[in-house]
A = this chain, B = another copy of it.
Amino acid sequence: MLDAAVQVFSRRGYHAASMDEIAERAGISKPLVYLYLGSKADLFTACIRREAGRLREAITSVAEDGLAPQEQLWRGVNAFFGFVAQHREGWSVLYRQARGQGEPFSGEVAKMRRMIVETVAALIARAMAAEGVRKPAVEGDEVLALANALVGAGESLTEWLLDHPEESPEVTSARLMNLAWMGLSNVLRGKVWRPPAGPSR
């Protein structure tokens, strides 16, 4: 039943999805949906919760403690792309639909995203500590911003992956790791990019 809801939500979007269609696709009648899961918003929230839980599970299950940050990031990224490739509809609901609309659900999704960003940030911080980088080189929020950028790159590559079914999740993961880790490794060693001289205007 949640499967039917996820399908319809992913195809139509939250507003355009009608409870009638969801009920029909689930093979039951509308009042039953209301009986089990309350309002439309509740139903959508339930979908989000389930998909978010699955995604979270897919990622955390491969990230064993004690591994090197690089290895953990690789595994997590890999698990992420693998999951998305297999749960296109779920991802579509989570990412495309649940972002933006006024308040009710965005919080749920934003929370999960923040968790991912913080996990990535923690990995970066560990990697930095391992390399013995001094604090002043990289401010506190700096790491969070970097993690944000990486996650954004991942999201964008996800769209790419879904639009190019011939690409494998592994290759996509490797691309992201290349961008991320190679860029980081330079920064970690103190090699930073500086804007060219002169005012840009």
Contact = CB atoms under 8 A, between A and B. Distances in A.
A16 to B, nearest CB: 6
A174 B142 CA distance: 11
A107 interface: no
A181 interface: yes
Given A99-B96, A100-B96, A152-B157, A193 B177 contact: yes
Main secondary structure of the interface of A (DSSP, over half): helix
A66 to B, nearest CB: 14
21 contacts: A13-B100, A15-B16, A16-B101, A71-B196, A75-B200, A145-B167, A149-B156, A149-B175, A150-B179, A151-B156, A173-B195, A177-B193, A178-B183, A178-B187, A179-B184, A182-B182, A182-B187, A182-B191, A182-B192, A183-B184, A186-B186
